[in-house]
């Protein structure tokens, strides 16, 4: 049975293949090649991937990123599509789903939405609910650096608090769009923001995400 993470992995690989190595992405100004190298290092070099969170490992991460980015682009895409090696924790379906469903969704949209002809993607209800469930657990973490209070709201009225405080900005959108917003892609997320003008401006510039 296919999981959300597996489907998003294959979609990401397809999008990277179609875009080509020099295509822009929404991710930190990276090209598609650099984004692909990031995904591969995260799965295949746990000794270096810790540099994503720990400054002491940043040099090791940068070195691993450079090594993989220098590989043929087709090889990077193949490594993403084929999945993690057997020794990786991500090889366990439950770990892969928990850690990668959101990761691959966001990166797939990083590739898609950086292209001039992109169009909105309608997510099926099951996947949308899965993204919302993850947001309910991660919202406080992704919103911790917001300078204002943040409430995430689905069109059906369900809400979750990403940051307590005042003034408050309510961000309304589908779960996929709210996920992108919370992971630092505010400019690309199709959401509406309600609140004081200065608070909205501050939130759109905030460094959100894990």
Both 100 and 76 in one domain: the answer is yes
Last residue of a domain, one of 67, 88, 112: 112
Both 26 and 97 in one domain: the answer is yes
Residue with tokens 């002491």: 56
What domain range is 11 assigned to?
4-112
Both 9 and 71 in one domain: the answer is yes
Both 104 and 137 in one domain: the answer is no
CA 144/CA 133 separation, integer angstroms: 18
Residue 117 counted as domain residue: no
What is the tens place of the pLDDT at every residue in 53-85?
555 556 777 788 888 899 999 999 999 999 888
What is the tens place of the pLDDT at every residue in 121-162?
999 999 999 999 999 999 999 999 999 999 999 999 999 999
Mean pLDDT across the stretch 39-65?
Answer: 70
DSSP 83: -
Both 138 and 93 in one domain: the answer is no
Mean pLDDT across the stretch 81-104?
Answer: 88
Residue 199 counted as domain residue: yes
Residue 120 counted as domain residue: no
Both 92 and 140 in one domain: the answer is no
Look up the CATH number of the domain holding residue 173: 3.30.1050.20
Residues with Cβ within 8 Å of residue 157, at least 6 apart in sequence? none
3: tokens are 């999981």
Rounded to the nearest integer, the mean pLDDT of the chain is 91
pLDDT at 49: 56
Both 106 and 131 in one domain: the answer is no
What does pTM read for this prediction? Answer: 0.91
Both 174 and 101 in one domain: the answer is no
Phi, psi of 24 (to 5 degrees): -75, 160
CA 50/CA 59 separation, integer angstroms: 11
Residue 119 counted as domain residue: no
Both 100 and 14 in one domain: the answer is yes
């Amino acid at each position: 049975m296919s999981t959300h993470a597996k489907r998003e992995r294959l979609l990401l690989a397809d999008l990277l293949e179609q875009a080509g190595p020099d295509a822009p992405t929404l991710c930190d100004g990276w090209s598609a090649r650099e984004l692909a190298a990031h995904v591969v290092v995260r799965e295949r070099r746990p000794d270096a991937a810790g540099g994503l969170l720990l400054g002491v490992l940043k040099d090791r991460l940068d070195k691993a990123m450079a090594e993989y980015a220098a590989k043929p682009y087709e090889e990077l895409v193949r490594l993403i599509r084929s999945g993690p090696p057997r020794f990786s924790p991500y090889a366990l379906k439950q770990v892969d789903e928990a850690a990668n469903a959101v990761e691959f969704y966001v990166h797939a949209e990083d590739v898609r939405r950086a292209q001039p002809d992109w169009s909105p993607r309608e997510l099926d209800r099951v996947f949308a609910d899965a993204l919302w469930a993850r947001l309910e657990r991660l919202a406080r973490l992704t919103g911790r650096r917001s300078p204002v209070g943040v409430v995430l709201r689905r069109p059906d009225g369900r809400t979750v608090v990403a940051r307590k405080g005042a003034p408050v900005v309510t961000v309304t959108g589908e779960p996929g769009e709210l996920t992108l917003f919370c992971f630092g892609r505010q400019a690309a997320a199709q959401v509406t923001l309600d609140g004081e003008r200065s608070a909205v401006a501050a939130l759109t510039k905030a460094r959100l995400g894990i």
